[in-house]
Amino acid sequence: VKGKWIIITGATDGIGKELALNAAKRKYNIIIMGRSSSKLDEVYSLIIKENVKCKKIICDFSKECITSFINDSIEIGMLINNVGCVGEHPKLFGEESSVSEMINVNIYNTFLLTQKVLISMMNRKNGVILNIGSFTGDMPCPVLSVYSSTKAMIRSWSESLHYEMRPYNVHVECINTGYVATKMSKIKKPSFFVPSAKTYADSVLNSFGNSSVSITYFPHLLMYSVIKILPRTFLGIITFFSLSRTRNMAIEKKKIE
The domain tally of the chain equals 1
Catalytic residues: 147
How confident is the model at residue 257, as a pLDDT?
65
pLDDT digits (tens, 9 = 90+) for 178-202: 999 998 888 889 899 999 999 999 9
Task: Tell me the residue range of the domain where 221 lies.
Answer: 5-256
Q: What is the CATH number of the domain that holds 173?
A: 3.40.50.720
Average pLDDT of 39-63?
94
Task: Please report, rounded to a whole number, the percentage of residues in the chain having pLDDT higher than 70.
Answer: 98
pLDDT computed for residue 2 by the predictor? 63
pTM of the model: 0.91
pLDDT digits (tens, 9 = 90+) for 221-246: 999 999 999 999 999 999 999 999 98
Average pLDDT over residues 66-85: 88
Helix, strand, or coil here: 5?
Answer: strand
Find all residues with CB under 8 Å of 234, minimum gap 6, and list them.
none
Query: Any idea what the Cα angle at residue 188 is, between residues 183 and 192, rounded to 5°?
Result: 115
